[in-house]
């Protein structure tokens, strides 16, 4: 099966936990997804088309090229979500 995937999404979700370990804030599902959405909206999409089995190897090989930008985007998003979380 051929798959279309924004691999930037995979990179964000692979790095988000390690970035948030250094930030004292809520880590509930809503906050995590808000951070991911904000980060992804500030990053350029990187779409790949691949056979399902090849997809993850491509994602892992390309991830390191974008890690610095992704870590920065996640950190900025986390600061915003921490200031104004959408839950009580």
Q: How far is Cα 28 from Cα 40, in angstroms, rounded to an integer?
A: 18
Q: What is the pLDDT of residues 4-41, one digit of tens each?
A: 888 889 889 999 999 999 999 999 999 999 999 999 99
In this predicted structure, the answer to whether residue 46 has a pLDDT above a threshold of 90 is: no
Q: What is the pLDDT of residue 4?
A: 84
DSSP 12: H
At 86, is the pLDDT very low, low, confident or very high (cuts 50, 70, 90)?
Answer: very high
User: Ramachandran region of residue 72, left (φ > 0), alpha (ψ -120 to 50) or beta?
Assistant: alpha
Closest by Cα among 70, 64, 52, 65 to 13 = 70
Residue by residue, DSSP assigns 59-87 as HHHHHHHHHHHHHHHHHHHHHHHHHS-S-
Q: What is the pLDDT of residues 51-61, one digit of tens each?
A: 665 666 666 66
């Amino acid at each position: 099966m051929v798959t279309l995937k924004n691999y930037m999404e995979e990179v964000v979700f692979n790095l988000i936990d390690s970035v948030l370990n250094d930030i004292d804030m809520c880590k509930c599902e809503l906050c995590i997804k808000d951070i991911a959405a904000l980060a992804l909206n500030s990053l350029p999409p990187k779409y790949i088309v691949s056979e399902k089995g090849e997809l993850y190897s491509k994602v892992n090989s390309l991830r390191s090229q974008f890690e610095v930008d992704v870590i920065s985007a996640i950190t900025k998003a986390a600061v915003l979500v921490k200031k104004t979380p959408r839950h009580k």
